[in-house]
Amino acid sequence: MAASLLWMAAIFAMSARPADDSTMDSHRAGRLVLSAFYPHFRDLPAADQEILVARVDYPVRKAAHASEYAVLGALYGLTVLAFVETKRTPDRELSVTNGKTPRAQEPLWARFPLRTAWCAAVLYAATDEFHQLFVPGRSGKVTDVLIDAAGVAVGVMIVCWVRRKHPERSVR
């Protein structure tokens, strides 16, 4: 849970940066991407470099959104799974009450922990976009929440995939 909270704080801090600072950060990231994938980028004149950086700015920003929320989705997934597993005990899983297994008696969020993690992370993404409405030069966008939601889904799916590949390992 601590890792989830720290990552949420990092996202909040990045969202609290004014638009000019955020643009400088994404341009720096764009330069790194272009330097890594465009072999002669550094040989270009400065004006041409700026044109290319401006072209990759949008995809770099959106990839950053999806990536930061993929991490949050994975962290939330691990947190919820760990919480659910600590609540389940071997004797509780074997008993039957009122004709229902203990799992059927669990609250909905505990029966579907990865869906719960996805919903919680997307809710955080929505509140983060709302927060940006109060930051100079920034805006909250529904499209960013959708991109974040896709990133969360990737993070949660990775946790699900790893869990299926290694069912013997507990999250605790």
What's the pLDDT at 109? 60
Distances from the Cα of 135 to the Cαs of 18, 58, 62, 115, 170, in angstroms?
6, 19, 19, 31, 41
Q: With beta carbons less than 8 A apart as the criterion, state whether 77 and 163 touch.
A: no
SS (H, E, C) the chain: CHHHHHHHHHHHHHHCCCHHHHHHHHHHHHHHHHHHHCCCHHHCCHHHHHHHHHHHHHHHHHHHHHHHHHHHHHHHHHHHHHHHHHHCCHHHHHCCECCECHHHHCCHHHHCHHHHHHHHHHHHHHHHHHHHCCCCCCCCCHHHHHHHHHHHHHHHHHHHHHHHHCCCCCCC
Q: What is the pLDDT of residue 113?
A: 86
User: Where do we find the tokens 């659910």?
Assistant: 84
Question: What pLDDT score was predicted for residue 89?
Answer: 56
Q: Give tens-digit pLDDT for 51-110.
A: 999 999 999 999 999 999 999 999 999 999 888 877 665 555 545 555 555 666 666 666
Distance CA 17, CA 122 (A): 21
Cα–Cα distance between 76 and 64 in angstroms, integer? 18
Q: Is the pLDDT of residue 166 over 90?
A: no
Helix axes 142-165, 46-87, angle to 10 degrees: 50
Contacts of 62 (CB under 8 A, 6+ apart): 144, 147
For residue range 103-156, list pLDDT tens digits in order: 666 666 667 888 999 999 999 999 999 999 999 999 999 999 999 999 999 999
